[in-house]
Amino acid sequence: MITGKKKILIYGYGNPGRQDDGLGVLLAEEIEKWSNANGLPYLHTDSNYQLNLEDAAGISSYDMVIFADASGEDIATFLFEPLQPSAAVEFTMHAVSPAFILHLCTHIFEHIPEAYLMHIKGYEWEFMQEMTEQARTNLDQATDYLKQFILRNTEK
Question: Residue range 146-152: average pLDDT?
Answer: 97
Q: What percent of the chain has pLDDT over 70?
A: 93
In tens, the pLDDT along 42-70 reads 999 999 999 998 999 999 999 999 999 99
Examine the pLDDT at 88 and tell me if it is beyond 90: no
Examine the pLDDT at 83 and tell me if it is beyond 80: yes
Distant-in-sequence, close-in-space partners of 9: CB < 8 Å, separation ≥ 6: 44, 45, 46, 58, 59, 62, 64, 65, 66, 113
d(C-alpha 49, C-alpha 62), whole Å: 21
Residue 3 included in any domain: no
Domain count along the chain: 1
3-state helix, strand, coil in the chain (%, to 5): 35, 20, 40
- Give 30 or 3, the one with higher predicted confidence: 30
Residue 93 included in any domain: yes
d(C-alpha 36, C-alpha 17), whole Å: 25
What stretch of H or E contains 128? none
Per-residue pLDDT, 21: 97
Angle at 76 between CA 152 and CA 140, to 5 degrees: 50
Among the residue ranges 29-38, 70-79, 83-92, 143-152, the one predicted with the least confidence is 83-92
Question: Residue range 130-147: average pLDDT?
Answer: 97
CATH of the domain at 48: 3.40.50.1450
Per-residue pLDDT, 2: 46
d(C-alpha 15, C-alpha 31), whole Å: 18
Examine the pLDDT at 94 and tell me if it is beyond 70: no
Residue 90 included in any domain: yes
Residue 48 included in any domain: yes
Quote the domain boundaries for residue 106.
8-152
Question: Residue range 122-147: average pLDDT?
Answer: 97
Give the residues across from 69 on adjacent strands: 119
The pTM (predicted TM-score) of the whole model is 0.93
Transcribe 71-106 into DSSP letters: E-SS-SSEEEEE---------SSSSS-HHHHHHHHH
d(C-alpha 117, C-alpha 33), whole Å: 20
CA 141 to chain centre: 15
